[in-house]
Amino acid sequence: MKPFDLTIQTADPIHIQIERFLRNQIQCGHLRAEDRLPTTNELAQQWHVDQMSIQKAMTSLVRDGLVYRIPRRGTFVKSAGEQKGIGIFIGATLTNETAHFYRAMVRFLTSVINQVNGGQWQARIYDGLTEVQAGPDPQNSALYKRLAEDVRYGAIKGIIEMGGFVHDLRELQEAGLPVSSWGRDVFFDLAAFARDCVELAARRGIRRMAYLRTIGKSDDSGADLRMLREAVASMGLPFPEIYELKSEGIMRARFESAVHKGVLRLMDCWQERGQWPEALLISDDIGARAAAVALLERGVHVPSKLTVMVMANEGIEHHYAVPVVRHVQPLKETARILLEILRLRMRGESGKQTPIRLAGSWAPFSVEESGGLRQEEICFEEILAPAGNSLPSAEEAQARSVVEIVQEGADIGEISDGFSRRPALRDFGGQGWQ
């Protein structure tokens, strides 16, 4: 086959067919390093396609490090040494509005990968895996075909998994590529978030707290509940009210809507009882955004009536509608450690003991937001420590006795109604507010 002998089919989008064809020609050696590709106009005329399709295909090849462009000179094939790639597998679709965390992680991962070996390594992004795998025919999807070709021709040397993996692709099974995984090898330390919140509350004279705890986060061992119990006991504070937010298996937009309705119902319960928490701890930034809107709608003054502490992420600036105190998780450090673990495994070395918990720190905030607390009083160092053992069965049973705000698999109406039928209070290992 000649290097540019392509017949356009009708099944897949034209730019996908062009990208796949050129990728194969490069990886099979029909197009060699430093070969100059025909111009966009020349290829459009030869293949009888529009120039926009050619440009979209070239943009993907440039992004994946297979070709490079020199203004006014043309597009050239990169040398083989520059084509080694790290596959980033993402369950979410990056174009979804609520995929803030994954877009930020892709930025940080791409940055640290591009610094390896003088920029010879390239990040290759495969997002939307969850949606594709739930479809009727994943094997024939454009994403699977692209991934299979990349693995077959050695374009991927290792994989960083971010909430999505392809277990049913034969090429991946045969390749046995090394993998590092967010959620298994590295995750954020919920226990550190819980401890820091209690310490900050104690310094501000806050006693009554409510904790909206996300179920489905990577660290779901119950360590945060143990830490809460230890921290409040050491400071003579009542144990917080615990409310669980089930996020696993629920689209983020639906999750946000459900949390909004759930927090409105919580405020009804607090109002009927005549006693509100003084601080609201939220371990999910999207959930916090929904909770903040609910507080704004009810006219709750933050922070004079209620201090809101949020587990947030580095590099993501949400508009929360009310002042919040952000406990920022270190995404850049997370990306660096995931790549370090992967490179050690690519060399056949054991390296770091995993899993690794990464703890964040309080972001600097103003006097108005902090209610007079000085900034230097809340700056903690980031913590890196091996994960501990999982909860014993008795404590695990207690952890599952908390109030559920969001029911897994329920639609918006069921979530709202299900929440309203549940009791407003149920304690975990404590006597509740005094």
E strand segments, 113-247? 122-126, 156-162, 179-181, 186-188, 209-215, 241-246
- Per CATH, domain 84-177 is 1.10.10: no
Q: What is the DSSP string of 11-66?
A: SS-HHHHHHHHHHHHHHTTSS-TTPBPPPHHHHHHHHT--HHHHHHHHHHHHHTTS
Residue 117 pLDDT more than 70?
no
Residue 181 pLDDT more than 50?
yes
How far apart are the C-alpha atoms of 338 and 325, rounded to whole Å?
28
Residue 379 pLDDT more than 90?
no
Cβ-contact 90, 162 below 8 angstroms: yes
**At CA 225, angle to CA 300 and CA 410, rounded to 5?**
65
The pLDDT of residue 193: 96
**At CA 300, angle to CA 247 and CA 295, rounded to 5?**
20
Which stretches of 179-324 are DSSP H helices? 190-203, 223-234, 252-273, 285-297
How far apart are the C-alpha atoms of 91 and 100, rounded to whole Å?
13
Number of C-beta neighbours around residue 266 at 10 A: 23
Whole-structure pTM over 0.85, yes or no? no
The 10 Å CB-count burial string (b at 16+, else e) for 35-71 is: eebeebeebbeebebeeebbebbbebbeebbbbeeee
List, for residues 266-314, the tens digit of each pLDDT value.
999 999 989 999 999 999 998 999 999 999 999 999 999 999 999 999 9
- Lowest-confidence range among 50-64, 186-200, 363-377? 363-377
The domain defined by 12-82 folds into Arc Repressor Mutant, subunit A (1.10.10)
How far apart are the C-alpha atoms of 342 and 330, rounded to whole Å?
19
More confident residue, 404 or 160: 160
pLDDT averaged over every residue in the chain:
79
Tell me whether domains 12-82 and 84-177 share a fold.
no
- Confidence label for 219 from pLDDT (cuts 50, 70 and 90): low
List, for residues 146-157, the tens digit of each pLDDT value.
888 888 877 888
Residue 194 pLDDT more than 70?
yes
**Token pair belonging to 222:** 């119950």
The pLDDT of residue 220: 59
Domain edges within the chain = 12-82, 84-177, 189-421
Rounded to 5 degrees, φ, ψ at 160 are -110, 120
Q: What is the DSSP string of 386-398?
A: E--PPPPHHHHHH
**Token pair belonging to 346:** 């690519």
CATH number of 189-421: 3.40.50.2300
Residue 383 pLDDT more than 70?
no
